[in-house]
């Protein structure tokens, strides 16, 4: 095998009752991401370019929980995390708590290649982004109606939990996804 | 969560993962995704990206453990991923995608489903959602 690429868009309990149209959207999104990686690698591109481009494609697809389409925090905002690692050099870049970077994976690559560090968090990660030319967006860029409704249901349930006490593990277990 | 792993024509491996985290997460909670070695890892042996219950994936230092099982334990990539899913993690906790330096691809999970896809230079291609597809 000269080259190979694999991708995921999250794991968990995925209803088998998805409407055919929605099911097809997921297959189409995955196909598009696979093609993105295929094109990079077939043309002789690097594994690093392939994983960045594939993840960017998935971040821009509102069906998946990354970039546009990310879930909501308890405060009703979006906080994004990303990491990238180059197996040929063991170099890595990672970020957590980003709020205005359109494609966190690309900033992770900049961290890896241009900074002396590996991992930035929260406000520091945003300040690092200010020193780069990565595309910035308002936090509501990541909004999708589906995730908003999911968050509202989670909020309602969390109030119920506080009344009847459930452990964090039970709570997470009930709604973990990707 | 989304992720990708790749092997290029020069034999180099890479991994990347990105996420919006967990719905309704509080207090700056961080999962496995940006933790190098847990949710994302690549070396000269394997590249791995994880998805699922971040706390559990972190506890097992999952992505690095998979690569170590291949490098030091004599496991195939498939055996290493399966070991994590079946022996270290509990059902419904995680999914992994991985590729090794020979271009072997593994996409497996102990959840009912994982959005996933792969292709290699021989034209082997998969796009699947549920485990029984």
| Among the ranges given (A58-72, A143-157, B91-105), the one the predictor scored with the smallest mean pLDDT | A143-157
Do A110 and B40 contact (CB within 8 A), yes or no? no
Instruction: Point out the residue among B39, B44, B107 whose CB comes nearest to the CB of A83.
Output: B39
Give the chain A residue nearest B112 (alpha carbons): A13
Share above pLDDT 70 across residues of chain A, in percent, rounded to a whole number: 89
Closest Cα in chain B, distance from residue A24 (Å)? 11
Give the least confident one: A17-26, A60-69, B13-22: A17-26
Contacts 24+ apart (CB under 8 A), A117-121: A118/A92, A118/A93, A118/A94, A118/B36, A119/A93, A119/A94, A119/A95, A119/B34, A119/B36, A120/A94, A120/A95, A120/A96, A121/A95, A121/A96, A121/A97, A121/B30
Local confidence band at A162 (pLDDT 50, 70, 90 cut-offs): low
For the cut 70, the answer to whether the pLDDT of residue A161 exceeds it is no
Taking CB atoms and an 8 Å cutoff, what residues of chain B touch A28?
A: none
- Residue A178: predicted pLDDT: 47
DSSP state of A73: B
- Put simply, the answer to whether B19 touches A90 (Cβ < 8 Å) is no
B2 and A55 Cβ atoms separated by less than 8 Å: yes
Q: Would you call A59 helix, strand, or coil by DSSP?
A: helix
Pairing of strands B113-120, B105-109: unpaired
Q: Does A26 reach chain B within 8 Å, measured CB to CB? A: yes
| DSSP structure string for B72-93 | HH---HHHHHHHIIIIIS-TTS
Contact (CB, 8 A) for A89 and A129? no
Q: Does B122 touch chain A (CB under 8 A)?
A: yes
Which positions 1-60 of B are in contact with A (Cβ < 8 Å)? Answer: 1-10, 12-26, 28, 30-31, 33-36, 39-47, 49, 51-53, 55
Query: How much is the pLDDT for B70?
Result: 98
How far apart are the CA of B15 and the nearest CA of chain A, in angstroms? 5
Question: Is the Cβ of B66 closer than 8 Å to some Cβ of chain A?
Answer: no
Q: Does B121 touch chain A (CB under 8 A)?
A: yes
A 78-107 residues inside an 8 A Cβ radius of B: 78-88, 90, 92, 94-97, 104-105
Which parts of chain B sit beneath pLDDT 50?
none
User: pLDDT tens digits for A76-97?
Assistant: 999 999 999 999 999 999 999 9
- Which residues from B are below 8 Å from A82, CB to CB? 16-19, 33-34
């Amino acid at each position: 095998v000269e080259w190979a690429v694999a991708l995921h868009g999250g794991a968990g309990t995925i209803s088998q009752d998805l409407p055919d149209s929605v099911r097809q959207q997921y297959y189409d999104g995955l196909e598009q991401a696979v093609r993105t990686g295929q094109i990079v690698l077939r043309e002789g591109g690097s594994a690093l370019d392939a994983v960045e481009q594939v993840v960017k494609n998935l971040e821009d697809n509102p069906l998946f929980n990354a970039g546009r389409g990310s879930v909501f925090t308890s405060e009703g905002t979006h906080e994004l995390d990303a990491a990238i690692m180059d197996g040929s050099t063991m170099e890595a870049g990672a970020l957590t708590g980003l709020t205005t970077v359109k494609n966190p994976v690309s900033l992770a690559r900049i961290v890896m290649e241009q900074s002396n560090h590996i991992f930035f968090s929260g406000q520091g990660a945003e300040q690092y982004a200010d020193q780069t030319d990565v595309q910035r967006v308002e936090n509501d860029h990541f909004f999708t109606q589906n995730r908003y409704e999911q968050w509202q249901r989670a909020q309602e349930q969390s109030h119920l939990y506080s009344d009847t006490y459930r452990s964090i593990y039970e709570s997470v277990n009930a709604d973990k996804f990707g | 969560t989304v992720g990708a792993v790749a092997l290029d024509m020069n034999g180099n491996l890479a991994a990347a993962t990105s996420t919006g985290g967990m719905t309704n997460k509080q207090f700056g909670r961080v999962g496995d995704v940006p933790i190098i070695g847990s949710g994302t890892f690549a070396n000269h042996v394997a590249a791995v990206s994880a998805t699922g219950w971040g706390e559990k994936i972190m506890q097992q230092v999952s992505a690095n453990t998979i690569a170590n099982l291949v490098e030091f334990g004599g496991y195939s990539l498939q055996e290493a991923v399966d070991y994590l899913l079946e022996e270290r993690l509990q059902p419904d906790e995680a999914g992994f995608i991985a590729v090794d330096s020979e271009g072997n691809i593994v996409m497996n999970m102990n959840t009912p489903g994982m959005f996933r896809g792969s292709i290699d230079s021989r034209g082997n291609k998969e796009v699947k959602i549920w485990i029984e597809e």
